[in-house]
Amino acid sequence: MQRRQLSDNITQYTIGKPLDTGAIILRSDQSADDCDRIPHFSADSDDDNNLRLSKALTDDEAIYGLGEMLGGLNKRGRKYRCYNNDDPNHTPEKQNLYGSHPFMIFDADETFGLFIDYPGEIVIDAGFDRRDTCTIELTKDVHNEVNTNIYIIEGKNKSEIIHNFLTLVGSPFMPPKWAFGYQQSRWSYPTADAVRDICRKFREYDIPCDAVYLDLDYMDDYKVFTTSHERFGDFAAFAKELLADGFHLVPIIDPGVKVEDGYAVYEEGKANNYFCKEYDYEDKKSSGDDFIAAVWPGRTAMPDFMNAQVRQWWADLYKQFCEIGVNSFWNDMNEPALFFTKRGLEDLYTTYDEVRSRTNPGLDFFDLKDKATGLSNNREDYKRFCHDCDGQTVCHDDVHNLYGFNMVRASADGLKRHSHGNRYFLLSRSSYIGSHRYGAVWTGDNQSWWEHIIVHIKMIQSMNMCGFFFVGPDIPGFGCDADAELLVRWLQVGIFTPFLRNHAALFTRSQEPWAFDDEITGIARNAIRFRYAMMPYIYSEYHNCVKFAKPFITPLSFAFSDHRCKSIEDQFMFGHSVMAAPVHSQNARGRSVTLPDCKWLAWRATDYTSREMEVFAPGTYFFDCRLDQFLLFIKEDSLFVMTSPGQNTQTRTDELTVIGLVTHSAEFTCYDDDGTTYQYEHGKYCTLRMKVTAEGSDYSVTCKYNAHDGYKNRIKRINFEIYNGKGELVRKSIKMSGDTPEAPVRR
């Protein structure tokens, strides 16, 4: 084992000759030295030659991280598996979902971070078998070896450890501004007219929306990079029509390519050997034949995204869409999900014949049932194909967790290259550490269950720790039938997550914001309009979090010293100024909330114009909260910025409202750019720095506008609503004359 110091806070430990996964961006020219141990851990090999790391745990030690996993924010007491898996049944015992994010923070007297950059299977026992021990097992590869890089990340506290981790793996991508708006999806809106009807209803019901998704039915016979002329007609004209009304189309792209003679994408891939090949796991050789599995199109070939040439080819396939103004997509089924293979089906038939031949099959039913349900995403199938990694043949099972990562990497490259300087939006189901640099993630096929609201409140916090800031669940659940109350409460969570999408499965009831009754439509409208009113705050805070490598959504125990915060997992900081405490239980008309460390301005909001405000000292309180209300809390000496919402994020207003609880002084820097291009990277943006200082019973207010590279000030008026420690309100208003504020006046 070798050790290399990458920075003052990050040490790399290399075992064997690991594959470059693409996860990290921090490199060092410093020479490595030999070492025999990794700090905090003992290391050995089990009987199967898997690498095992073990660490003793103290009674109150917490383990955070691991991104997209079920269970608590504190990972103690469960077993987890990093092996990307298409599983629509997110029940509590499941150990793995669609992404693998092997970054953890061990929080005790000595707090540190651990990142294991290993693309094969990792099993983490966080005190499940033995409560006082964490065991991490890395499964050997086909050559009976474990080759990996392991990183120990230090810092003064958990937040600094995450910051240092993000210097290792990079900050998240910056999506276009419209992506922060509300997005509507369903499996499926099957025709162009069905999509037009959805868009028309958003405008008819005066509900803001920025995007509509296209699931599988927009394609010709499930063939990727095609559109159905029968169902969607002139697709270019259709996309242009919707964009003119403020709706972005987000079509789905799966990795699987239909095996069909004459289909251009398949013909190109086959002619150039761009598809994964069959592999003999025992002989460790490729047969040279394309690996074929059954997915949505039927017989399907899988592009070899581990190969740089294949990624280049795949990237350029997006050009046809970008040329007609469609540069936003979602990548699904990229774990990769496989329905079955010919070999798996033959094994099932053999088992069926054996059971049928028995005179008293009885319990053999379970053999047959397990064989049938085990057809999909079978581990043996993942061992039966391989990749060409720049001339090196690699068994897929050994790099399984990188498949979706490299598809996203290729897609992002193509969208950025062919979008004529405009920012793309890319959403992926499968992910690995590093995917956050290229696109966003949603948390997969959840259900319309109350239990899944709290699961995802915890999951989005863990995802942010791993660099996935732009993340969110399907609202109000993908599978099963949602009820009206569930839609409302989940929306009231969703307005405090960067990614806000309503998505439903085939055969489930409609769950668009107007799908229930007039009262629910009004409540949903108010929640979504509140989200749009928050856009100056959200866009500014997200930009700052990306720029300074700090999570956008933060657990309370990472932000405050109050010891009670360590056990609070259903409240979170949304940016720097706001704490969200969603109601997430059926029929609940209130909830208990802990307010740590400082005073808080509690807001029971019904819409962006309501002002039911009260100041609270630190402590735990029960807050009543009707179905049409939701709770947010503004931290003492912080500012929260709002505006008037429009039909979509393209609506530009020239007035801001700034709300704050100020006992000493508070600052907020509002950031803006064109929301569309990469010009902000070249200095074309503006900042509006606002400062409020308490002066006896009054406040002084200053504003400083900086237009960088000629970016013009859009704001003409700023209205301040400032509360003191007693809850008394002072209003002030500033008119902006060009780039210079006039003297503030009381209102």
What φ, ψ does residue 734 adopt, rounded to 5°?
-125, 130
Task: Please give the Cα distance from 539 to 498 (Å, whole number).
Answer: 9
- What was the pLDDT predicted at 653? 83
- CB-CB contact of 668 with 690 (8 Å): yes
Choice among 47-51, 362-366, 543-547 with the minimum mean pLDDT? 362-366
- CB-CB contact of 531 with 162 (8 Å): no
- What was the pLDDT predicted at 357? 84
Boundary (domain end) residue, out of 154, 169, 184: 169
Question: Left, alpha or beta for 262 (phi > 0: left; psi -120 to 50: alpha)?
Answer: left
- CB-CB contact of 734 with 744 (8 Å): yes
67: in domain: yes
| CA-only gyration radius of the chain, Å | 26
10 Å Cβ neighbour count for 391?
A: 6
* More confidently predicted of 747 and 521: 521
Dihedral over Cα of 162, 167, 172, 177: its sign: positive
Q: Count how many domains the chain has.
A: 2
- What was the pLDDT predicted at 362? 72
SS3 249: strand
10 Å Cβ neighbour count for 695?
A: 9
User: In sequence order, what E strands does 241-301 have?
Assistant: 248-253, 257-258, 277-280, 285-290, 292-295, 298-301
pLDDT, average across residues 68-86: 98
- What was the pLDDT predicted at 743? 53
Task: Please give the Cα distance from 342 to 690 (Å, whole number).
Answer: 64
User: Which residues have a Cβ under 8 Å from the Cβ of 518 and sit 6 or more positions away?
Assistant: none
660: in domain: yes
User: Which residues have a Cβ under 8 Å from the Cβ of 334 and sit 6 or more positions away?
Assistant: 254, 255, 403, 404, 407, 408, 428, 429, 430
715: in domain: yes
Domain with residue 10: its CATH number is 2.60.40.1760
Share of the chain above pLDDT 90, in %: 92
| Residue appearing with tokens 């030690």 | 61
pLDDT, average across residues 275-296: 97
Is it the case that residue 742 has pLDDT exceeding 70?
no
Domain with residue 702: its CATH number is 2.60.40.1180
- Side-chain half-sphere of 602: how many Cα atoms within 13 Å? 24
User: What counts of helices (H) and strands (E) characterise the chain?
Assistant: 16, 47
Boundary (domain end) residue, out of 139, 169, 199: 169
SS3 618: coil
Structure tokens at 586: 């059926």
393-425 residue pLDDT tens? 999 999 999 999 999 999 999 999 999 999 999
Strand 257-258, strand 298-301: pairing: antiparallel
169-182 residue pLDDT tens? 999 999 999 999 99
Write out 310-323 in H/E/C secondary structure. Answer: HHHHHHHHCHHHHC
Is it the case that residue 664 has pLDDT exceeding 90?
yes
Is it the case that residue 641 has pLDDT exceeding 90?
yes
- Side-chain half-sphere of 345: how many Cα atoms within 13 Å? 9
Is it the case that residue 327 has pLDDT exceeding 60?
yes
pLDDT, average across residues 502-522: 98
Among residues 186, 177, 205, 242, the alpha carbon closest in space to that of 529 is found at 205
Choice among 83-92, 346-355, 414-423, 637-646 with the minimum mean pLDDT? 346-355
- Side-chain half-sphere of 378: how many Cα atoms within 13 Å? 22
Dihedral over Cα of 453, 454, 458, 459: its sign: negative
- What was the pLDDT predicted at 651? 83
- What was the pLDDT predicted at 747? 43
Rounded to whole angstroms, what are the CA distances from 712 to 17, 641, 686, 741? Answer: 53, 19, 7, 14
Please list the residues that pair with 720 across neighbouring strands. 658, 732
Task: Please give the Cα distance from 615 to 479 (Å, whole number).
Answer: 40
Q: What is the DSSP string of 349-383?
A: HHHHHHHHHSS--TTHHHHHHHHHHTSTT-HHHHT
Among residues 127, 123, 124, the alpha carbon closest in space to that of 57 is found at 127
Among residues 477, 473, 500, 512, the alpha carbon closest in space to that of 207 is found at 512
pLDDT, average across residues 268-276: 98
285: in domain: no
- CB-CB contact of 182 with 527 (8 Å): no
94: in domain: yes
459-487 residue pLDDT tens? 999 999 999 999 999 999 999 999 999 99
- What was the pLDDT predicted at 744? 58
Cα 702 from chain centroid (whole Å): 37
Domain that holds residue 664: 654-746
Residues in the chain: 747
Task: Please give the Cα distance from 191 to 663 (Å, whole number).
Answer: 56
Boundary (domain end) residue, out of 114, 137, 169: 169
Amino acid letter, residue 12: Q
Among residues 310, 191, 338, 178, the alpha carbon closest in space to that of 254 is found at 338
* DSSP3 helix / strand / coil % (the chain, rounded to 5): 25, 30, 45
Confidence at 741, pLDDT banded by 50, 70, 90: low
- What was the pLDDT predicted at 492? 98
563-612 residue pLDDT tens? 999 999 999 999 999 999 999 999 999 999 999 999 999 999 999 999 99
Is it the case that residue 329 has pLDDT exceeding 80?
yes
- What was the pLDDT predicted at 390? 85
Write out 661-711 in H/E/C secondary structure. Answer: ECCCEEEEEEEECCCCECHHHHCCEEEEEEEEEEECCEEEEEEEEEEECCC
Confidence at 332, pLDDT banded by 50, 70, 90: very high
Among residues 625, 620, 589, 618, the alpha carbon closest in space to that of 604 is found at 625
For 342-361, give one letter per residue: b (16+ CB within 10 A) or e.
eebeebbeebeeeeeeeeee
pLDDT, average across residues 273-279: 98
10 Å Cβ neighbour count for 341?
A: 20
- What was the pLDDT predicted at 354? 85
What φ, ψ does residue 93 adopt, rounded to 5°?
-80, -10
Strand 328-331, strand 425-428: pairing: parallel
Please list the residues that pair with 116 across neighbouring strands. 150
Question: CA torsion, points 450, 452, 456, 462, in degrees to nearest 10?
Answer: 130
106: in domain: yes
Rounded to whole angstroms, what are the CA distances from 597 to 64, 559, 632? Answer: 22, 10, 16
Burial of 298 (0-12, 13-18, 19+ CB in 10 A): middle
Is it the case that residue 155 has pLDDT exceeding 80?
yes
Rounded to whole angstroms, what are the CA distances from 692 to 541, 705, 731, 738? Answer: 18, 15, 12, 21
Please list the residues that pair with 689 across neighbouring strands. 669, 704
669: in domain: yes
Task: Please give the Cα distance from 600 to 725 (Å, whole number).
Answer: 9
For all residues of the chain together, what is the average pLDDT? Answer: 96
728: in domain: yes
* More confidently predicted of 453 and 745: 453
